[in-house]
């Protein structure tokens, strides 16, 4: 059989994710080459791959052709993009890659457009009858003497919680609505925050849903979290992803569980999230299942076939290299 070569684009700090694929390929006794791309020569994840390719930024007109050349050169079977900003471009070139024998783990353009702009995400939730915090009109609030605070101000196109700000009064709202680029104002929700890792197979079926409670975050990413087998959250998350037009692969969604049991969704990222290693540790073996599906083996999966109550406590580890290596 051919080597099961995988390309991870914009690999950055995704060391654990790539290690999990490595581990799975070994346990399946598949020969494979793992390749990463990144715009920087000092991306930690590059140093655990077999080959690393430095590429221009996603916005560079040559970007997509360089990825195609890389796929050809390394006989790539599966391409897994790891940041939001290249998903749309890749989805637009999906057929080209498929013609080359490369499977893209990328959702449809429509799904990506819903996820990338939080105003579109809000409209999607509303249309599908999915509960979500209200998006509010800043000017109306500022002229309303009865307005309630706190509120959330955030960019409609942000990622990693960059710019997400709680405003406590009209003065702060007035300032931050102009200070934060592309700001929207959102109802403030009090509740437990969950991230869900959801696997969608190549037929568009939701196969696994893992809610992870955010115990603590750092720089917008989970630093302490726990898997929680809550059937209501699992069912709600499944419904969200089934409502998307053409989701594929690992879809990462965020929601709040309110004290009254309501579940309000705020965000969808149609790619592996930074906290996925917790789901993997709990037995939600998305890497293995994706590979098995591609090989035509039907993996045995139940929607909650993973371990409840697994806690991830993150700390900084490091790869050490020399100045010359990253020059």
Burial of 148 (0-12, 13-18, 19+ CB in 10 A): exposed
Nearest distance, CB of residue 44 and a copy of itself, angstroms: 4
Nearest distance, CB of residue 172 and a copy of itself, angstroms: 7
Nearest distance, CB of residue 226 and a copy of itself, angstroms: 6
Tell me the C-alpha distance between 131 and 55, whole Å: 40
3-state secondary structure of 184: strand
Tell me the C-alpha distance between 43 and 196, whole Å: 26
Nearest distance, CB of residue 267 and a copy of itself, angstroms: 20
Look-up: residue for tokens 């073996």?
A: 285
Closest to a copy of itself by CB, 127 or 218: 218
- Residue 57: cis peptide before it, omega within 30 degrees of 0: no
Helix axes 15-27, 286-294, angle to 10 degrees: 50
Nearest distance, CB of residue 283 and a copy of itself, angstroms: 11
3-state secondary structure of 89: helix
Q: To 5 degrees, how large is the angle CA 7–CA 12–CA 14?
A: 75
Closest to a copy of itself by CB, 146 or 322: 322
Tell me the C-alpha distance between 47 and 231, whole Å: 39
Tell me the C-alpha distance between 272 and 250, whole Å: 5
Nearest distance, CB of residue 56 and a copy of itself, angstroms: 19
Closest to a copy of itself by CB, 68 or 174: 174
Closest to a copy of itself by CB, 48 or 64: 48
Q: How many CA atoms are closer than 13 Å to the CA of 200, on its beta-carbon side?
A: 28
Closest to a copy of itself by CB, 225 or 264: 225
Nearest distance, CB of residue 293 and a copy of itself, angstroms: 26
Tell me the C-alpha distance between 279 and 286, whole Å: 9
- Please answer whether residues 37 and 53 qualify as being in contact, where contact means their C-beta atoms are separated by less than 8 angstroms: yes
- Give 51's contacts (C-beta < 8 A, 6+ positions apart): 33, 34, 35, 36, 74
Nearest distance, CB of residue 70 and a copy of itself, angstroms: 22
Closest to a copy of itself by CB, 92 or 313: 313
Closest to a copy of itself by CB, 220 or 231: 220
Closest to a copy of itself by CB, 231 or 283: 283
Residues that bind a copy of itself (CB under 8 A): 13-16, 42-45, 47, 172, 175, 179, 215, 218-219, 221, 223-224, 226, 274, 277-278, 281, 308-326
Look-up: residue for tokens 């471009």?
A: 89
């Amino acid at each position: 059989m051919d080597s099961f070569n995988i390309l991870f684009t914009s690999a950055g700090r995704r060391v654990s994710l790539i290690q999990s694929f490595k581990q799975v390929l070994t346990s399946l006794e598949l020969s494979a080459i793992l390749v990463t791309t990144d715009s920087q020569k000092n991306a930690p994840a590059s140093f655990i791959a077999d080959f690393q390719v430095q590429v221009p930024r996603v916005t560079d007109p040559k970007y997509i052709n360089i990825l195609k050349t890389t796929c050809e050169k390394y006989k790539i079977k599966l391409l897994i993009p790891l940041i939001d900003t290249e998903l749309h471009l890749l989805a637009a070139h999906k057929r080209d890659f498929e013609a080359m024998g490369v499977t893209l783990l990328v959702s449809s353009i429509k799904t990506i457009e819903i996820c990338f702009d939080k105003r579109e995400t809000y409209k999607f939730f509303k249309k599908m009858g999915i509960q979500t915090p209200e998006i509010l009109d800043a000017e109306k609030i500022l002229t309303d003497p009865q307005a309630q605070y706190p509120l959330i101000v955030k960019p409609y196109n942000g990622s990693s919680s960059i710019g997400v700000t709680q405003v406590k009064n009209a003065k702060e709202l007035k300032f931050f609505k102009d200070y934060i680029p592309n700001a929207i104002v959102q109802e403030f929700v009090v509740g437990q925050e969950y991230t869900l890792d959801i696997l969608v197979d190549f037929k568009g079926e939701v196969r696994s849903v893992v809610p992870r409670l955010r115990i603590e975050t750092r720089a917008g990413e989970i630093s302490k979290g726990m898997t929680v087998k809550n059937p209501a959250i699992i069912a709600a998350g499944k419904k969200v992803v089934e409502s998307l037009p053409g989701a594929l692969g690992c879809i990462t969604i965020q929601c709040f569980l309110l004290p009254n049991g309501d579940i309000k969704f705020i965000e969808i990222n149609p790619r592996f999230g930074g906290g996925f290693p917790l789901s993997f540790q709990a037995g939600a073996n998305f890497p293995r299942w994706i590979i098995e599906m591609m090989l035509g083996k039907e993996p045995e999966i139940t929607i909650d076939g993973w371990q409840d109550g697994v806690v991830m406590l993150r700390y900084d580890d490091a790869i050490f290299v020399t100045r010359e290596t990253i020059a």
